[in-house]
Amino acid sequence: MRNFRSFLSRAALVRAVSLALPLAAMTTLPACDLFNQAAASVENAAQLPIDVTQSTKISIDVSLLTGTLAGQTIPPGPDLTQDLTTPPAPLDLAKEQPDLAKYASGHIKTVEINKIAVTPTTNTLTGDLPAMDLYFGPTTAKGAADSIKVATIPSIKAGSTAAFDAQIDAAAMAKAGTTYLNTLAFSQMMSGKLVVKAGEKVPSGKIDLKLDLGVHAVVTAL
């Protein structure tokens, strides 16, 4: 009888220990994990999102580029190709955006441009503007070679002033963000090629484009 009672006592003890072990495993975390979770919570709480819209302007004077050929019909033979690259223009978000300026000294975590709205404010072109590539680069950029192509402006019909959105290359924009935009000071430029085929007239006129950049920044609290 004592052996049977002893067996029952040992069985009950083993069962109690086996039930307690999973509970302890579920409710106990290593100290390093608790520390990491607490640190992440503090870091996230110290980050602030800021969204602003920055307007810029890019002008393309086709008449200046085509010169005396404007209005003439291309004879049979090779196509006429004209480069439409604009010079790099500086843009300083710290000067233009007060909401960002106060965080400029070491508090900018990330900057990205998630939307580019394009509005032709003037369009006297007599021919369609070809698709143009938009580049962001350093303030010292000389051209496309030392910049990153971040978006494409679709072709614009002659005389059209309809607004539309540029086609952003997300991967390229992310690279530009970590390379140039995080400094808040960068340059922008556009590049494309005008192609006039045989039998077509060489266009003339000018187009002014207003670009509204949707800027999303994450900053650390002051």
Alpha-carbon span 150 to 191, nearest angstrom: 12
Name the token pair of 29.
Answer: 């975390």
Q: Is 174 helix (H, G, I), strand (E, B) or coil?
A: helix
Q: What is the pLDDT of residue 14?
A: 43
Q: So what's the pLDDT on residue 222?
A: 79
Number of structural domains found in the chain = 2
Query: Residues 177, 107: one domain?
Result: yes
Tell me what pLDDT residue 39 has.
Answer: 44
Is residue 54 located within the same domain as residue 30?
no
Same domain, 34 and 82: no
| CA 189 – CA 152 distance, rounded (Å) | 12
Check if the beta carbon of residue 202 is closer than 8 Å to that of residue 66: yes
151 in the same domain as 54? yes
> The CATH number of the domain where 177 resides is what?
2.60.120
- Residue 46's pLDDT is 84
DSSP-derived secondary structure letter, 76? S
Looking at the DSSP bridge assignments, the partners of residue 11 are none
For residue 12, the model assigns a pLDDT of 47
64 and 112, same domain (yes or no): yes
pLDDT of residue 154: 97
pLDDT at position 29: 54
| pLDDT score, position 1 | 46
Model pLDDT, residue 157: 98
Same domain, 54 and 161: yes
> What is the identity of the amino acid at 207?
I
Q: Which residues of the chain have pLDDT under 70?
A: 1-45
Is the domain of 11 the same as that of 109? no
The answer on 102 and 6 residing in a single domain is: no
Is the domain of 87 the same as that of 189? yes
pLDDT of residue 106: 84
| Domain match, 7 and 104 both | no
User: Do 36 and 75 fall within a single domain?
Assistant: no
Reduce the DSSP state of residue 161 to 3 states and report it. coil
- Give residue 22's domain range: 2-42
Residue 32: predicted pLDDT: 56
Q: Looking at the structure, tell me whether residues 99 and 178 fall in a common domain.
A: yes
